[in-house]
């Protein structure tokens, strides 16, 4: 069976990564969460003190961040106990750190920086070189792999996404409110679709899937059958 590249793009908290992971497991493909890579860079920036916030302003020391990034190693490692792939920054597993609200509040700003995007896009292309990958993000079908054999554009209503994310954060013990999560999602949607560099867009040939009222499993099965139809 010929391996292909499956690009899954869409708004935040649409269940992209859960679905992409399951599709990858079913097809025995590699799963790459590019959002986790932007989050890892944001974590690096916060850790090294390259982000400073005034009352009205946010400043990122881009030059220092790019240097630090080029000296860092971002990689995914499969955790066979949990059956998931986890992200490491310079040998440290940072899965938990990158999912908190602190990283979430700054990641859109970091993801706007053209030099950071160019560096991560090159890494992502390298990771997908051998095909047999499911990659999710915002610009996979438009920028990273415009030649991907299957492109999916995932959507779900704002309220459903906020509710799902709120429950997820609660389970992790984060202190937050539904309203705060909804606002974060609205802000990220706006920034993802309005930024100058690689804004979130549906690729022309992408298949749109709205999962507001479908189960994860239904969407997984739909994507797997689309892959099988390609044969
Ligand atoms: O998918 P996510 O919520 O983990 O993504 C985190 C942030 O990274 C989000 O604000 C958009 C950005 N991102 C991006 O600009 N391009 C990608 N390919 C993936 C994520």
Cα of 155 vs centre of ligand 1, distance in Å, is 14
Over range 215-228, report the average pLDDT: 96
Cα of 166 vs centre of ligand 1, distance in Å, is 18
Atom of ligand 1 nearest to the CA of 13: 3
Q: Three-state DSSP class for 159? A: helix
For each of the domains in the chain, give its residue range(s) and CATH number, in order of start: 5-224 (3.40.50.300)
- Residues 6 or more apart whose Cβ sits within 8 Å of residue 36: 76, 87, 95, 98
Q: What confidence score (pLDDT) does residue 55 get?
A: 87
Express each pLDDT in 86-142 by its tens digit: 999 999 999 999 988 899 889 989 999 999 999 999 999 999 999 999 999 999 999
Radius of gyration from C-alpha coordinates of the chain = 17
Nearest CA to ligand 1 atom 13: 35
CA separation for the pair 200, 121 (Å, rounded) = 14
Cα of 136 vs centre of ligand 1, distance in Å, is 9
Short-list 228, 217, 226, CA closest to 15? 217
End-to-end CA distance of the chain: 7
Q: What confidence score (pLDDT) does residue 83 get?
A: 83
Q: What confidence score (pLDDT) does residue 105 get?
A: 87
Ligand 1 pocket test: which of 15, 20, 32, 34 has the largest number of ligand atoms within 8 Å of its C-beta? 34
CB 137 within 8 A of CB 121: no
CB 86 within 8 A of CB 93: yes
Nearest CA to ligand 1 atom 9: 108
CA separation for the pair 69, 45 (Å, rounded) = 9
Question: What percent of the chain shows pLDDT beyond 90?
Answer: 84
Q: What confidence score (pLDDT) does residue 1 get?
A: 77
Rounded to the nearest integer, the mean pLDDT of the chain is 94
Residue 231 has pLDDT above 80, yes or no: no
Over range 24-29, report the average pLDDT: 95
Q: What confidence score (pLDDT) does residue 172 get?
A: 86
Cα of 37 vs centre of ligand 1, distance in Å, is 8
Over range 173-197, report the average pLDDT: 92
Relative orientation angle of helices 114-127 and 62-70, to the nearest 10 degrees: 20
Express each pLDDT in 136-173 by its tens digit: 999 999 999 999 999 999 999 999 999 999 998 899 88
Rounded to two decimals, the pTM is 0.92
Short-list 227, 84, 199, 219, CA closest to 155? 219
- Residues with CB under 6 Å of ligand 1 are 12, 34-35, 38-39, 107-108, 111, 137-139, 188, 192
Cα of 1 vs centre of ligand 1, distance in Å, is 31
């Amino acid at each position: 069976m010929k391996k292909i590249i499956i690009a899954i793009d869409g708004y935040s908290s649409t269940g992209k990564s859960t679905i992409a992971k399951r599709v990858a497991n079913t097809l025995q493909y590699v799963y790459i969460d590019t959002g986790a890579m932007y989050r890892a860079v944001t974590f690096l920036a916060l850790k090294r003190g390259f982000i400073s916030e005034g009352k009205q302003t946010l400043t990122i020391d881009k030059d220092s961040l790019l240097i630090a990034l080029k000296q860092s190693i971002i990689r995914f490692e499969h955790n066979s106990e949990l059956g998931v792939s986890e992200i490491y920054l310079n040998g440290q597993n940072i899965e938990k750190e990158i999912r908190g609200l602190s990283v979430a509040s700054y990641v859109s700003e970091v993801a706007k920086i053209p030099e950071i995007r160019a560096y991560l896009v090159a890494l992502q292309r390298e990771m997908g070189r051998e095909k047999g990958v499911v990659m999710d993000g915002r610009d996979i079908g438009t920028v990273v792999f415009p030649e991907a054999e299957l492109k999916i554009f995932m959507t779900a209503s704002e309220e459903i996404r906020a509710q799902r994310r709120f429950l997820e954060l609660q389970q992790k013990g984060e202190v937050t409110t539904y309203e705060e999560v909804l606002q974060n999602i609205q802000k990220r949607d706006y920034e993802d679709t309005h930024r100058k560099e690689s804004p979130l867009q549906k690729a022309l040939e992408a298949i749109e899937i709205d999962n507001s009222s479908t189960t994860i499993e239904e969407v997984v099965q739909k994507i797997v059958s689309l892959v099988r139809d390609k044969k």
